[in-house]
Amino acid sequence: MKSYIKNLFLAAIVLTFSGLSFTAIAGSDEQSKTVELKYVGTINNKPVFQLIILEGASDKEYTLSITDEFGNTLYKSAVKNNSSKKFMINTDEVNLDDAIKFELVGRTTNKKITYEINRISRTMEETAVVALR
């Protein structure tokens, strides 16, 4: 009987996990060919994004500002053409349920390239049924 209960317990396994992924939404296809924002992973459970400005970009220098959904500036700096920078979002200070915007403004053309980052959380549940012999 003990073996039967043990096998019955193993027969009904429920796996639940929660995944965390991010989406970045760019302005247009033309802009996304010269500027890329990628989610590259986490460090100490904090998301890391990489901003890449390719050589074919229309401006030689941009002003980058990172803001939350309320318009608070989290970071502001000048970035050059043909460069790459990584950014870690401090989840102790920024709520990941809020949208975060990366906005690049060309110094000479004043063209804006905006990326919005939203967190998408998924829960997947599986049930396995095993035939006992």
Give the model confidence (pLDDT) of 33-54 as tens digits: 778 899 999 999 889 999 998 8
Q: What is the DSSP string of 61-75?
A: EEEEEEEETT--EEE
pTM of the complete model: 0.66
Query: What is residue 26's predicted lDDT score, i.e. its pLDDT?
Result: 52
The CATH number of domain 21-120, selected from 3.40.50.300, 3.20.19.10, 2.60.40.1930, 3.40.190.10: 2.60.40.1930
The DSSP output letter for 93 is: T
Tell me the per-residue pLDDT of 49-84, one tens digit each, with 9 for 90 and over.
999 988 777 788 899 999 988 888 999 999 988 889
Of 51, 111, 96, 97, nearest to 77 by C-alpha is 51
Highest mean pLDDT among 64-78, 88-102, 107-121: 64-78
Q: Which one is predicted more confidently, 77 or 22?
A: 77
Neighbours of 94 (CB within 10 A): 16
Cα 27 to Cα 11: distance, rounded to the nearest angstrom: 50
